[in-house]
Structure 1
């Protein structure tokens, strides 16, 4: 309970994964990786055959004929393929823990990678935006190093920039970026409205 309300806490699931969970795909072909170098296709077939009839097994090899550490197992039944994923994903085979999942077509993999990249970029942008402060009412004598020194009292400053005209004269405002959003927030609450150089009050925005 928090402020009279009952909280619900669960693992965050991306929108794409929530959609995928609503419509469970039907598949018979499995992608298997983390295979030991000495693992043969016959041994891999024997292991997966414990869960149903296996139609085909292939371990991908390099130009020298050595295992690349991954391969594919194709079941006759989608139900058996699903059982194999549930039982063997993360299971120890030899000295390594297997990864077993639905084999995806190239187009599907590309869509997934683009989506993951976009999500990562969005998270990084949001974090960067939350770590960056806009500062105005700067004295004309303040340069980048003085700005960084002043704000460093609140955390690790990764960059500090005073904006200037073409002739080099300060525009009276700039930007300060902290290593974390928490440090930026501390600076916002600590330094906004502070009197410096006896006559200037800092105005700080996130």
Structure 2
């Protein structure tokens, strides 16, 4: 299988699928054969451990989203090598937010904070979602922000609302804070 050298083409989610619950007997070749009827495959890979053993999941990237959609429609929940496989569009880790409705948390982690962010500004912005118990920005030995911190809410509902509203929002001089 040839590799796409251009980083933007390689990192696109268009036509890119995630496949899981693969049998240990499925290698790159079998995965390619399974999906090749649905369009032109740009890349195809089964994830393996250090010893070369399948981890039970892989990725297939088509040249078009239409081919990927056709593969999803035809292969998702189908039986292959004795296992029912899961096929869906690939979602970047940075774009995934998967919190169970039963999850009970009050502490939120913030990353990529601008250097000019203060705990007071974070408290001001996040207080619209409920009562805040504490705000903390991690700092180095010189007192400079390390770019991450935490907001702790009184209730889980407040934390969930804040996470849903603020996930992905840029905080700082040019972002959501005044």
TM-score (norm 2): 0.49
User: Would you tell me which structure has more helix in proportion to its own residues?
Assistant: 1
Query: In terms of Rg, which structure is larger?
Result: 1
TM-score (norm 1): 0.43
Larger relative CO (CA 8 A, sep 6+): 1 or 2?
2
